[in-house]
Structure 1
Amino acid sequence: MSTNNDEADRALKARHQALWSLGDYPAVAAEVIPATGPRLVEACGIRAGQRVLDVGAGSGNAAIPAAQTGAEVIASDLAPALLDVGRQNAGRQGVTLEWQEADAEALPYADGEFDVVMSCVGVMFAPHHQAAADELVRVCRSGGTIGLLSWTPQGFIGQMFATMKPYAPPPPPGAQPPPLWGDEAHVRELLGDRVTDVDARKENLPVDRFGTPEDFRDFFKRTYGPTIAVYRNIAEDPDKVDALDRELADLARRQGETGAMEWEYLLVTATRAG
């Protein structure tokens, strides 16, 4: 018999699945942040013959470059719509890998099944951070690599979430803010003594996709699920819509009027302890 907690969790996951099916996240991955996937693959040292799991893989920003090394890759994500785009992308590039719908907080894989378990701005959006971290560790073999690339709270995307927060519906009970995965202390606490050789570094992603601050705002209003959801929440209040329009453009403008931006992320690699 289902408990209330089970039902609430299913409803929450359904909301997350719907969130990432809004707009056109694959356009964000392909046009704005394509360099993040190859950077994570490089940091993890992925090579031919390894068995690799990409958690929160989306449309394959990291999974496809991983498969291009000759590794055996599974791309998993809660949103099947993103996986469908990923399959098409891989097919166009002649890359073979598996695409599987899966919940980052309850991965359908055996203990120690993978040589590398990675996530590129994916697992950070799972609502319960410790549950997701426990799964990353569980499915990685002893001596294997865990690699994470996450937006920092202080960086541009972290600031964007802070800007949108007053206009967003209240988060579900127990859900934690995604940019916390970009805080080194938080990630170290999540992984604990189950990993060794932790390497954590902040890096910047150059972004030159947008000619003006308004171009950035309008692109994210059109393509990025979390931004679309926030605007839907305030759609009946034109004053709030206008205010958020101004605040998002101002956020981008603080990076400079030329359209050249730097988005900070935290890159973490660690070895699964024996």
Structure 2
Amino acid sequence: MGNGSDTAAADRALKDKHRAMWAQGDYPSVAAEMIPGLGEILVRAAGVSPGDRVLDVAAGTGNAAIPAALAGAEVVASDLTPELLETGRRLAEQRGAELRWQEADAEALPFDDGSFDVVLSCVGVMFAPHHQKAADELLRICRPGGTVALLSWTPQGFLGRMLAAMKPYAPPPPPGAQPPPLWGDESHVRALFGDRITQVTAERRMLTVDRFASPEEWRDYFKQRYGPTISVYQAIGDDAGRAAALDRDLAELARSHDRGAGTDGTVMDWEYLLFTARRADA
């Protein structure tokens, strides 16, 4: 057995780790309470219409997939983490949305070339570790002339800076893995797709988050519910000094973004990139 089998085994182990990371905590509540409107924004930007064949990649609990189905599209929601899909099924049923849920790796999607009219991902595919592989898959399963629409946190925005703040406390990333917020950098995404796309639109926008009384309340919420944050604290383990330092760093980050200082609560603007393009005709 050579390097190929070693690489495949390493990739399986990495994906197992990612699957477990997103299954812990309570990401469904984060999606419902922090970003409930982002999926609808993405669906509108993509121009989803009745009868469109739509794939939501790294769909989580269906933040974009459910609005796409309610718009009349034929939707498949795919994600690496089955626990999130189970929650999505329940949410779709509650909202009267009919769609298909399928466990799938964004870097190796189990769909035929050109199967979909619209391919979406709302703060999802950005967490796939190998960006070029994921970008190639997004285009492969989109028909020529079809739409790819992505919503991603930017490197300079709050979530991008949060991930950067946690990085010194986390184990080193595996070889070849790239930082998720690069998907929020227009030039990076354009480079991933190259001349395979046309009619590009890219717009940086803000999501206002004002539900926390203090920076510390936001930090503790993410410590309890957000898989990537939970994983970093787990990696710190029993080192109380490092845990306290990360506590301080995260609270200070939120404080530096708080434009509600002096009021009863914390008001933060979280920047994201809304990117849409057409797959060039083959």
For residue 235 of structure 1, report the CA deviation from its aligned partner. Answer: 2.0
Report the TM-score, using the length of structure 2 for normalisation. 0.96
Who is 1:210 aligned against? Answer: 212
1:135-146 correspondence runs (5 A): 135-146=137-148
- In structure 1, the partner of 2:229 is 227
- The structure 2 residue matched to 1:94, chosen from 78, 91, 96, is 96
- Distance in 2 between residues matched to 1:123 and 1:156, nearest whole Å: 18
Which among 102, 107, 110 is matched to residue 109 of structure 2? Answer: 107
**5+ residue gaps, structure 1:** none
SS at match of 2:23: coil
1:48-93 Cα shifts (integer Å, max 9, x gaps): 1100000000001110011010100000000000000000100111
Residues 1:267 and 2:271 aligned together = no
Q: 2:156 aligns with which of 151, 154, 157?
A: 154
CA RMSD between the two structures? 0.8
Q: Which amino acid aligns with 1:119?
A: S
Q: Secondary structure of the equivalent of 2:206?
A: strand
Residue aligning to 2:79:
77
Code of the aligned partner of 2:13:
A
Please list the CA deviations of residues 180-224 of structure 1 after superposition, one character each: whole Å capped at 9, or x if unmatched. 000111000001111001101100011112111011100000000
**TM-fit CA distance, 1:47:** 1.1
Q: Give 1:171's aligned residue.
A: 173
User: CA deviation digits over 1:163-189, x for unaligned, max 9?
Assistant: 100000110111100000001110000
Equivalent residue, structure 2, for 1:3: 5
SS at match of 1:260: strand
Does residue 1:13 correspond to 2:15, yes or no? Answer: yes
User: Matches of 1:59 and 1:259 in 2, distance apart?
Assistant: 27
Query: Which letter maps to 2:168?
Result: P
The count of corresponding residues between Structure 1 and Structure 2 is: 274
Question: Which residue of the partner structure matches residue 58 of structure 2?
Answer: 56
* Distance in 1 between residues matched to 2:68 and 2:96, nearest whole Å: 13
CA distance in 2, matches of 1:196, 1:162: 32
Q: Any unmatched runs of 5+ in structure 2?
A: none
**Distance (whole Å) between structure 1 residues aligned to residue 145 and residue 241 of structure 2:** 54
- Once residues 235 and 16 of structure 2 are traced to their aligned partners in structure 1, the CA distance between those partners, rounded to angstroms, is 17
**CA distance in 2: counterparts of 1:110 and 1:205, whole angstroms:** 35
SS in 2 for 1:145: strand
| 1:130 maps to which of 129, 132, 139 | 132
Paired letter, 1:259:
T
Determine if the alignment matches structure 1 residue 30 to structure 2 residue 32.
Answer: yes
Structure 1 length normalisation: TM-score? 0.99
Residues of 2 paired with 1:271 and 1:28: CA distance?
31
Question: Which amino acid in structure 2 is aligned with residue 7 of structure 1?
Answer: A
| Residue of structure 2 equivalent to 1:238 | 240
- SS of 1:3's equivalent in the other structure is helix
Residue 233 of structure 1, CA deviation: 0.6
Distance 1:148 1:115 in 2: 14
Identity of aligned residues (%): 65
